[in-house]
Amino acid sequence: MSNRQSWAQVIILAGTGLYFAANLLSGNITNYIAAKFIWLSWIAAGLLLALAAIRAIALLRGRHDDHEHEHAHEHSGGARAWIGLGIVALPVAFGLLVPSAPLDSRAIEGAIAGDLGSIGAAPSQRVGTDPLDRNALEWLRTFNLASDLSAFDGQAADVTGFVYRDPSLGDPARFLVARFVMSCCVADAQAIGLPVEWPGAAGLRADEWVRVRGAFALRDVDGEPVPVLVAHAGEEGVQPIERPAHPYLYP
Amino acid sequence: MEVADTLTVFSTRFLGIFIEAAPFLLLGTVTSGLIEAFISHDDLMRILPRHPVLATVAGGLMGFAFPVCECGVVPVTRRLYRKGLPLPVGIAFLLAAPVVNPIVIASTYAAFHARAIEIVYLRVAVALVAAVLIGLLFGLQSRADRLLREPGHVPAWRRSPSPPAPAALAVVHDPEPSLSGLPGRLVLAPAGAAPALAANARPSRMALIPGLRHALSLAAEEFFEMGRYLILGSLLAAGLRVVITQGQLEALATNPVNSVFVMQALAFLLSICSTADAFVALDFANTFTLGSILGFLTFGPMVDIKSTLMFLGVFRRRVVLYLILLPFLMTTLIAIWVNLNVRF
């Protein structure tokens, strides 16, 4: 490995470390991983910067051949080594070139409105919170555990999420107030949503974050009676809001 | 969807997998560096039982000493091979450690204990049994040196009363490594020479400060060697998620056999770290059969897209194929058996 490639390694290590640090400091890290794993990213940032520093010091002192013998096969082609370096630089490249964004309706394929089946509803996860504090996931769990959905007729609710136009909803006055649910990182993120009915729905932009206040009413969605959140008429029913600091829900 | 939209979603998925996995890879490479600096070949041989089967079982339990997930286990295994770890022991460690380690057991317990404590026991037992059996199968190979990607001058030493000293290892560049084992017989042979020991006269256990410096320097080097496979794997996993949706796969899960295959496919494609996959499996526990959840929790940590690519950095291609197929077959059979025979 040439001297230039060794310095490229230092730059990539430091760059990746700084990329982790920038994500952590800006809060963008929650676009990628669940809050409970953020401390791991701090470790990664620290280790990457430490490794960069160690390598830089070794290079400056000319102690480069310290472990040369172990990687004899790496020296074969300069071009191949550069390609390898390029691959490791990809995360930073993507981080710099593509604006950071959480998963949104662009990552959802097709209809999710009737998709209650795969939402975990273990007894241990029974929701005990005040109905007005329940988020979309907790509502879906509540519905899954309930034996009689008509019990929720008239139940007031207050949920936030992004606007998703679910194809199965049909009616232009309906949309889904959707969230992604994630356990560890976007690899396992799954979209969920509550159907909302609101006269001004047609004017909402997809992926706009909104706070929806209203009351559930059993409506026919795609041939099945489903609790639909009927938002209060007027502006207080569906309010545009800033994207929350934690765009995903954690089960 | 427009190209820019696809790129944004792809980028988020790719970076998500990388950001989640990178700390584990880094911890794995640092562990590997520390092993190189502070654990000698002799130490390793002293700890391992002499009997090949017992040694392989010990390999399957080594996750308690090195609690690593499937990203961290690959560099550690490679380092242990360089230190002269016998091939079957390393395979058992490679496949079992991502499950049979305190962190993963704790996270599985946290996810499942209220629902099905059996999952925790079954997960550990199935992973350990499958890993040890596969390790022993590899041990039947007559020429262990041909399995690793690095051209191995495998010193052929049989089970002798006392393992040869590193110095002797360095001398024996045996032209006929086939001595290391007859077909069908288990012989403990180090899977790879320890080039570090062979190539220089550095004492095998280093002093603290130079040792740490050396360990971190190696970790940096290894982050590049293993990192590129992790990154390629993350790119592939993110790309497949854009093409195949989870819903399409779930729709296929209809019976005790199908559901197992679907969950195996999901485990492979999603490439979720083993420290966190129990929480993901919990979400599937309502719709999927017990056996398929078990398959997801045992096959996924052994093999997924990113670990497959990392295996390619250590083993020859044919070996990697077996490292995918054998765990797949074994966990699938166990999972289907559980579906058909075990009632909770």
A195-220 pLDDT, tens digit each: 999 998 888 998 999 999 999 999 88
Which among B71-75, B80-84, B134-138, B268-272 has the top mean pLDDT?
A: B134-138
Chain A residues 113-152 with a CB less than 8 Å from chain B: 115, 117-124
**For a pLDDT cut of 90, what percent of chain B falls above it?**
24
At residue B301, the 3 state secondary structure works out as: helix
Helices (H) and strands (E) in chain A, counts: 5, 7
Contact criterion met (CB < 8 Å) for B231 and A91: yes
pLDDT at B179: 33
* pLDDT band at residue B180 using 50, 70 and 90 as cut-offs: very low
At residue B188, the 3 state secondary structure works out as: coil
pLDDT (tens digit, 9 = 90+) per residue, A60-87? 987 555 454 445 444 556 888 899 999 9
Contact A139, B41 (CB under 8 A): no
pLDDT (tens digit, 9 = 90+) per residue, A134-152? 888 888 888 877 778 888 8
Tokens 């899954």 -> residue: A144
Instruction: Answer yes or no: is pLDDT of B111 > 90.
Output: no
Contact criterion met (CB < 8 Å) for A122 and B284: no
How many residues does this entry show for chain B?
A: 344
Chain A residues touching B212 at Cβ < 8 A:
none
One DSSP character per residue, B132-153 reads HHHHHHHHT-S-GGGTBSS---
Q: Which of B283, B304, B314 to mutate to test the interface with A (most CBs of A within 10 A)?
A: B283
Chain B residues touching A48 at Cβ < 8 A:
26, 223
Write the ipTM.
Answer: 0.88
Q: What angle do CA B305, B306, B311 make, to 5 degrees?
A: 100
Å between B161 CA and nearest CA of chain A = 30
Fill in the DSSP letter of residue B175. Answer: S
CA A105, chain centre distance (Å): 11
Nearest CB among B17, B246, B283 relative to A120 is that of B283
Residue B163 to residue B189: CA distance in whole angstroms: 10
Chain A residues touching B276 at Cβ < 8 A:
34, 37, 183-185, 188
Segment B312-328 shows an average pLDDT of 91
Structure token digits, residue B78 = 């490679």
Look at B167 and A157; give whichever has higher pLDDT.
A157
What values do phi and psi take at B161, rounded to 5?
A: -55, -40
One DSSP character per residue, A188-246 reads G-EEEEEEEE-GGGGGPPTT-EEEEEEEEEEEEETTEEEEEEEEPSSTTTEEE-PPPSS
Segment A181-208 shows an average pLDDT of 86
State the pairing for strand pair A238-240/A224-231: unpaired
What pTM, to 2 d.p., does this model score?
Answer: 0.78
What are the C-alpha distances in Å from B26 to residues A39, A70, A113?
A: 14, 19, 40
Contact criterion met (CB < 8 Å) for A106 and B224: no
At residue A161, the 3 state secondary structure works out as: strand
Chain B residues touching A115 at Cβ < 8 A:
247
Which among A238-247, B147-156, B233-242 has the top mean pLDDT?
A: A238-247
> Whose CA is closest to A39, among B280, B20, B182, B55?
B20
Instruction: Answer yes or no: is pLDDT of A192 > 50.
Output: yes
Contact B81, B89 (CB under 8 A): no
Instruction: Answer yes or no: is pLDDT of B163 > 50.
Output: no
Chain B residues touching A95 at Cβ < 8 A:
15
Comparing alpha-carbon positions, the chain B residue that sits nearest to A102 is: B12
Segment B221-229 shows an average pLDDT of 86
Å between B270 CA and nearest CA of chain A = 6
Instruction: Answer yes or no: is pLDDT of A113 > 80.
Output: no
Contact B144, B181 (CB under 8 A): yes
> Whose CA is closest to B210, among A84, A19, A58?
A58
pLDDT at A69: 47
